[in-house]
Structure 1
Amino acid sequence: MGIPKRQVSSTASSRIYDTLRQDLINGRFTAGEKVAISALKERYEIGLSPLREALNRLAAHGLLIQENQRGFRVPSMERSELDDIAEMRRELEGMALERAIRLGDAEWESELLAAAHRLKRADMAPDKVEEWEHFHACFHRTLVAPCGSAWLLRFIAQLHDQFDRYRRMAPEAPEVRRVLDAQHGELVELALERDIKSARALMDDHIQRSYQVALQGVLSPA
């Protein structure tokens, strides 16, 4: 018995959604660029139905802008938007971290230690950067996972995607990166110690330092 067409289409849509999401975050489309559906079909070798479904999901997630009767467009990149994204990250991620520290159990502690270990061991060489990005995202998700609010986690995930559009376009800042990497370990220590006040302050600083890096993606000449 074959796989139902609806299931095949759903699988194809999920696959192209993940691929396009990564390409949009990684800056493989120019900010403000109009996205031609016909060109995407050829480039990704995907059917129209799953492609449209994926594009609609990306628009709902804020990674594309849907224009009436005009298809889709890649969002612009503006400092005012980055400022807003960073501020919302500080507010929502800080809130989630406080809740996670209060509610997290022993299983969360072990998962957090494992996520931090995988991130620390990840290679940031140019050909391995996507692996590092994966473990980096997993670490931040694990850190706030037991906050008790699915909606809060959804908003944070969306903010991370928007923030990463800017961060990944910025020039490398190895000295800042070393500080940020060290702060990952410090966040784990404070979380395990259940030091909510210090963990929240460190998270604020962590996001601010990362914001300063991401900002260069806006300020640097194209």
Structure 2
Amino acid sequence: MTTSSRIYDTLRQDLVNGRFEAGEKVAISSLKARYDVGLSPLREALNRLAAYGLLIQENQRGFRVPRLDRDELDDIAGMRRELEGMALERAIARGDAEWESELLAAAHRLKRADQAPESGDEWERLHGRFHRTLVAPCGSAWLLRFIEQLHDQFDRYRRLAPEAPEVRRVLDAQHGELVALALERDAQGARALMDDHIQRSYEVALGSFSRGRLTR
């Protein structure tokens, strides 16, 4: 992995995890020291993150973290429902026995992490892997790419929201239900449950605005 790729991955995770304030100007000199990286690979990573949508490039003024915006969150959640639902239906139609085994394994690892709430970063990693595995055999690399980008944008909001343990228990249970419907090849039932899953998670993500960060 190149230095630019390494810093891109690290910064991407830090931005998604809310380690920078929404609307914050990102000082390149501070980032060089913080991540112990040279200017050239850092600038390359920042430009990639701006193209990806996790930073805003300002003319002659560097980079800024996007603000939180209710209209944007609504748009992201709506596109997640459309694209993930489509990908899930395709995955159920195309998935083979190997996919079924990988899906069961991903669900098992996530369930174990559900029972160890102190491992937040590990849970997030396994949660992302579960959702990627669920739609992996959809047959479209571009569809998977768009879904990955939407997840990162959505998670910016979700991870800044206050914890909602009761909703989290329902969402955790729905992961197992999604697996069961996928294995039964119930595409219609799985898509309906995915819609509900995203909607509940969206309602949690709305809590990110409770600290006065909402913009229009």
TM value normalised by structure 2: 0.95
Cα distance in 2, alignment partners of residues 103 and 23 from structure 1: 35
Name 2:200's counterpart in structure 1.
209
Cα distance in 1, alignment partners of residues 212 and 25 from structure 2: 21
RMSD of aligned alpha carbons? 1.1
Name 2:171's counterpart in structure 1.
180
Name 2:34's counterpart in structure 1.
43
- 2:57 aligns to what SS in structure 1? strand
Cα distance in 2, alignment partners of residues 216 and 43 from structure 1: 29
Name 1:53's counterpart in structure 2.
44
Amino acid at match of 1:44: Y
- 2:63 aligns to what SS in structure 1? strand
Name 2:144's counterpart in structure 1.
153
Amino acid at match of 1:202: L
Cα distance in 1, alignment partners of residues 24 and 131 from structure 2: 30
- 1:72 aligns to what SS in structure 2? strand
Amino acid at match of 1:81: E
1:125 to partner: Cα distance: 2.9
Name 1:136's counterpart in structure 2.
127
- Deviation track 1:162-193 (CA, whole Å, cap 9, x = no partner) reads 00000000000000000000000000000000
Cα distance in 1, alignment partners of residues 28 and 94 from structure 2: 45
Name 2:63's counterpart in structure 1.
72
**Counterpart selection for 2:6 from 15, 24, 33:** 15
Give yes or no for the alignment of 1:171 onto 2:162: yes
Cα distance in 2, alignment partners of residues 115 and 205 from structure 1: 21
1:214 to partner: Cα distance: 0.4
Question: Matched residue pairs, number?
Answer: 212
1:220 to partner: Cα distance: 4.1
Give yes or no for the alignment of 1:26 onto 2:17: yes
Give yes or no for the alignment of 1:81 onto 2:72: yes
- 1:66 aligns to what SS in structure 2? strand
Name 1:107's counterpart in structure 2.
98
Q: Which has the higher contact order (CA 8 A, sep 6+)?
A: 2
Cα distance in 1, alignment partners of residues 23 and 116 from structure 2: 29
Name 1:125's counterpart in structure 2.
117
User: Structure 2: 5+ residue runs without aligned partners?
Assistant: none
User: Structure 1: 5+ residue runs without aligned partners?
Assistant: 1-9
Cα distance in 1, alignment partners of residues 209 and 74 from structure 2: 11
